[in-house]
Amino acid sequence: MKAIGAGGHKRLVDEINITPLTDVFLVLLIIMMVVAPMLKMTRTEIIPPVVNGGDPIEKVRLVVEITRDGRYFVDGDETNPANLAEAMRDKSGSFTEKDVIIQADRLSKSGMVLKVFDAAREAEFETMTVAVETLSKRRSEELDRLPALEEVPAI
């Protein structure tokens, strides 16, 4: 311990001097502030390798999507509702199973889904499945607040 005194009287100082400690923390803070942005810059982007061959991935089922505004997509390609069965028949050769998955927007009309069922039967698909998504109560309430779908003319 340090002794401080004047005129021959010395007393011991029992307090900690925090000035050097504060200086060290400030220097460390400055170093971290300088280094932190550099850590973001050193991220490397991963580029996947390119290969010349390989077997294509087998598609198992045909997916038909119906949007809120009445558009139909057969395996990702937009299709005219009048040509739905023909488009499904054309795409059926690239699938291993004669099944159709129908993904319809929550606000699409039931008649649109039935049109896909009829087209699937006409295109000789064996099984038709309607894909659904379970929603939390809060998410369901959010969707209920969306504006109603305008009338889509029946075709």
pTM (two decimals): 0.49
pLDDT on residue 21: 92
- Among residues 64, 56, 58, 73, which one has the least CA distance to residue 99? 64
How do residues 52-63 score in pLDDT, each as one tens digit? Answer: 655 555 567 888
pLDDT on residue 109: 81
Number of separate helices (H) and strands (E) present in the chain: 4, 7
Q: How confident is the model over 30-38, as a mean pLDDT?
A: 89
Alpha helices in the chain (DSSP H): 19-41, 84-92, 110-122, 137-144
How do residues 69-128 score in pLDDT, each as one tens digit? Answer: 888 888 888 888 888 989 888 887 777 778 888 888 877 788 888 898 898 888 888 888
DSSP conformational letter for 19: H
State what percent of residues in the chain have pLDDT above 90.
Answer: 10
Domains and CATH numbers, the chain: 3-41 (no CATH), 62-143 (3.30.420)
Element (H, E) at 127: strand 127-130
